[in-house]
Chain A
Amino acid sequence: MTGATVELVGVTKSFGQHQALGGIDLTIAPGEFIALLGPSGCGKTTALRALSGLERIDTGRIVIDGDDVAEVPTNRRDIGMVFQSYSLFPHLTAIENVEFGLRMRQVEKTERRLRAAEALDMVGLDKHAQRFAHQLSGGQQQRVALARALVTRPRVLLLDEPLSALDAKVRVSLRDQIRRIQTDLGITTLFVTHDQEEALAVADRVAVMREGRIEQIGTPEQLYVTPSTPFVADFVGLSNRVPAQLADGRVSVGGAVVDQLGERMPDGPVTALVRPEDIAFDAAGVPAVVVASSFLGSLRRTQVRLDDGLLLAVQHDVSDRHETGDPVFVRLKGAAVSVTPR
């Protein structure tokens, strides 16, 4: 299975007065895994549905492997899709569900049974082939849905928040499984999610969307370390909002002077977006009092209050424990920060 090149060129879509997509431009390379990330209502699902053909676009082009498919109906676009809500056909068994797409394509019975069995085996559900949807857990249903979407060897795989209805552990496990299968098959994949951790963990590139437009697209590292807009800095990862002064591209914040990330802004008072891991406990820093501390497994996040009342989240080593009320000193490590006008 080889992936296709997908291009969305100037795609717009409105629902009445509401513009859901305000001119989306996105190119996905063959075999690439792109995540569309953004808050509710930002247009990410509309973009995916436009690509699938389930939503007609107002203007623009949708190109798959050089063919403009904007006017092609969903059933002729050669896509595979996994939905947010469980979408297995309740009247069919797991294997019959997986066979469905092959049946629609008139694949001969013996071959389709064989391919469906292989697909179920790929998602580790070969033992559940004869079960109906209601006899499967949520995670198993989504795995069958994944097998069903992949068995026809589509040119593009579309995943519309397929993990959002699952519990945390199953979510991580299925997320990893999706990525592994996608890499093995080399299928071009568009994954919609509002969960930044999910997007950063699985995607080759992440497109952050806001109000119907792509705010920034880049690798997870690029988005996290060098966000191009304050929205991206705020939305991707956790940020402390700290009053600061901007002068000549340098930001004076919390007693330190650091570089500004992103587009240059006019000098003056700004709000700096400082990552919790860019703050450290250090006797040379400013005084603060510990408000709360959370154990996060491999690391710890402690909330401190500065003398002026500002609350800061500090991410640090799990062995470095602080009790509520402890006096501490914090300082910025010196990493560049994004700023937004104050």
Chain B
Amino acid sequence: MSALVRIGAEPGAVTRVVILSVVGVVFALPILALIEFTFRAGLTGEHTLEHWTGLFSEDAARTYRGLFQAIGNSLVLAAVTVVIVLVILLPTMILVHLRFPRLRRVLEFICIVPITVPAIVLVVGLAPVYSVVVKVLGGSTWTLAFAYGITVLPYAYRAIQANLDAVDLLTLSEAARSLSAGWVRVLLHVLLPNLRRGVLAASFISVAVVLGEFTIASILNRRNLQTALLQVSQSDPWVAAIFALLALLLAFILLLSIGRLGRDRKTS
């Protein structure tokens, strides 16, 4: 061998193309199969647009009312979950970062724990809590957002922490305070603009996680997009596949938006 391969070396162009192609195929194949399935006409092997056009028919609104309602529920859940992340997690992380850096490891541990707990275990633990929640706030689907606020913690934490690590927030906040800014103004005019990318990433990842959640909603008997899709798929698997595709498309759009909206003015 004329040259040794260095560990950690950047892969060559060909290697990169091969890796990206393999990964691309792994991701694309099921999606392409799903798309193809939505055009199938039963088991005949023929293809049709009927399943797609059927969604826009007059009967569709009535037939799939439950599904549309579930989509509405999921969007409300996503919004409330994002609010919980922004109102509770973000200020806590900023506070720990600026004033109590020694608590960072503790906060990190707390935020990462949910990823190690299976959803079914989480639900068993949450069931008695929700019996109280129902008494206090009623049985509306949006109350699931409290549970989702916990499940999205690891993802939201990572997204925000990466941004916190990249910016010297302590010096920026001290500079702003020396320039007559109170804490609210420091937060609005200095911290949030410099944490925009992390906040958007945390929000969109939270939305993506909420739109894909099934276990908690199903076991706590709430109706969201995923539970409704399962129900619809019993009678009409094509429509379930179409809505699954649309949910996936929405998640893609959200992820692409992170890059677009998160792009700084200084780099645009």
Binding site for B on A (CB under 8 A): 52-54, 73-76, 78-81, 83, 85, 87, 89-91, 100-101, 103-105, 132-135, 145, 148-149, 152, 158
Contacts and interface: CB of A to CB of B under 8 A. Distances in A.
Looking at chain A's contact residues, the main secondary structure is: mixed
Given A87-B172, A91-B264, A104-B189, 10 more contacts: A74-B177, A75-B180, A78-B180, A81-B175, A85-B168, A89-B172, A91-B265, A103-B189, A104-B179, A133-B266
A81 B180 CA distance: 11
A88 B174 CA distance: 11
A313 B70 CA distance: 85
B266 A132 contact: yes
B178 A104 contact: no
A75 B181 contact: yes
B180 A83 contact: no
A89 B177 contact: no
Nearest to B167: A90
13 contacts: A54-B177, A75-B178, A75-B182, A79-B178, A83-B174, A87-B172, A90-B194, A90-B266, A101-B180, A104-B180, A145-B175, A148-B179, A152-B180
Given A90-B167, A91-B193, A81 B266 contact: no
Contacts of B174: 54, 74, 81, 83, 87
B178 A74 contact: yes
B171 interface: yes
Interface hub of A52, A83, A135 (most chain B Cβ within 10 A): A83
Contacts of A80: 178-179
B179 to A, nearest CB: 4
B16 interface: no
Interface string B209-233: 0000000000000000000000000
B176 interface: yes
B169 to A, nearest CB: 11
Contacts, number: 74
Interface of B: 167-168, 171-172, 174-182, 185, 189-190, 193-194, 264-266
Given A74-B178, A75-B180, A104-B180, A83 B171 contact: yes
Main SS of the interface on chain B? helix
Contacts of A73: 177, 182
Contact of B178 (A81, A105, A133): A81
A76 B180 CA distance: 6
Contact of B194 (A53, A78, A91, A158): A91
A266 B30 CA distance: 91
Q: 6 tightest CB-CB pairs across the interface, nearest first?
A: A101-B179, A81-B178, A132-B266, A87-B175, A104-B180, A74-B177
A100 B189 CA distance: 9
Nearest to B177: A74
B177 A75 contact: yes
**Interface-central residue, A54, A135, A158, by most chain B CB under 10 Å:** A54
Contacts of A148: 179
Nearest to B183: A75
B190 A89 contact: yes
Nearest to A78: B180
B180 A105 contact: yes
Contact of A83 (B175, B194, B266): B175
A135 B266 CA distance: 9
Contacts of B189: 100, 103-104
A100 B185 CA distance: 11
